[in-house]
Amino acid sequence: GDRASSPEKKPRPPKSLWWNVFASRACLCFQALGSVMVLVVLGVVALTYYTTVVLVYGPAALDDRDNNNNAAGAWVVLAIYHVLIVMTLWSYFACVLTDPGRVPPGWAPPPEDEEDERVRTSNSEKRRRFCRKCTAWKPERSHHCSVCGRCVLKMDHHCVWVASCVGAYNYKHFILFLLYTFAACVFDAVALASTFVSYWADVHDGSHREKTDEEKMTMAAVFVTFFVDVAFAASLLGFIVMHANLNFSNMTTIEMYEKKKTLPWRYDRGKRKNFTEVFGTTIALWFLPLHSAHQMRRLLDVSRLSGGSYPRMVEDGLDPIAPVSVAGDPPRGSRGDDGEELAACGLCVGSRGGGVVVGKKSGGRSRDA
């Protein structure tokens, strides 16, 4: 009787449904957090700029008193500081606004080779990989990002600090952002250290006059900025060492965790070729968040195709039947050196909404045409 009178229990939803709801909400949180972190980065830059330029070295450089030897040194500090800040912001926004790498529409993997597939043990190494979320083939070394909602070529990780994924096309910009931010933080901390130390020396010296409220506020800003610089520099150092090792090994962060433990790593072509695959062969561009047309074609070939093909290969300057290029080698279908590539092809990275923009000429020619 009690069983009949008791209300029927509703069936509980499967665990997969709860997990999908949780993952969806987590992705929305990561997207919102990314926008906030961009503001945090700009806020930290504004804090260091206000303290270093407006409060400390700006007034010292503009001090026109006679026998003022500090003015020249202040101008030198300001010049170096502005160069580092400009390069930091340039690298940062290049990483934020550059598309990390889209899988081209219609991309298809090469025919299946059972013996080759048995050798490729990790998920990133397999050539025939299908993304169930995108309902499309995805190239070797690419992964689906749930936050961005698409597959990313040679995906390293999703970074909330840049509100985007770090992939084939913006990995160089990400590394430069780490390096320039570290250099700017260290330089700013050293530049503010003398002011910071002299203030506390005056506080403990009873022969000096009492500090004004304005001087106390300045020193409070110097104190906060100094420790922010030190904290960011210390945290960035570990990331720089890690990504330097990954770059010289031709490995991504994802691959570092999922790769087979036995060595050697199949994509490792030597430190020099591994480095030039990311930074290019033009030394002058190593320090700038830019890619030459020749380097963009190499990234397009190595990271995007992986032996597969897609309808617009010829328009992108690649030969569909040429061998696949490897790390540091010229891309298939390319002609001449970097200078000729820059003059002959307008291939470049688009913004978030776009992929690859093709110039007037293409370096490759299809034999099927």
How far is residue 360's CA from residue 49's CA, in Å, rounded to a whole number?
42
Within 10 Å of residue 324's Cβ, how many Cβ atoms?
Answer: 16
CA-closest candidate to residue 82, choices 39, 47, 53: 53
State the catalytic residue, choosing from 95, 148, 159, 345: 159
CA-closest candidate to residue 124, choices 302, 276, 298, 251: 251
How far is residue 86's CA from residue 92's CA, in Å, rounded to a whole number?
10
Dihedral sign (CA 145, 141, 176, 341): negative
Contact 307, 352 (CB under 8 A): no
How far is residue 127's CA from residue 110's CA, in Å, rounded to a whole number?
7
159 an active-site residue? yes
Amino acid type, 312 = R
**Buried b vs exposed e over 281-303: b needs ≥16 C-beta within 10 Å?**
bbeebeeebbbbbbbbbbbbbbb
How far is residue 141's CA from residue 216's CA, in Å, rounded to a whole number?
54
**Two tokens at 77?**
């500090």
Return the active site residues: 159
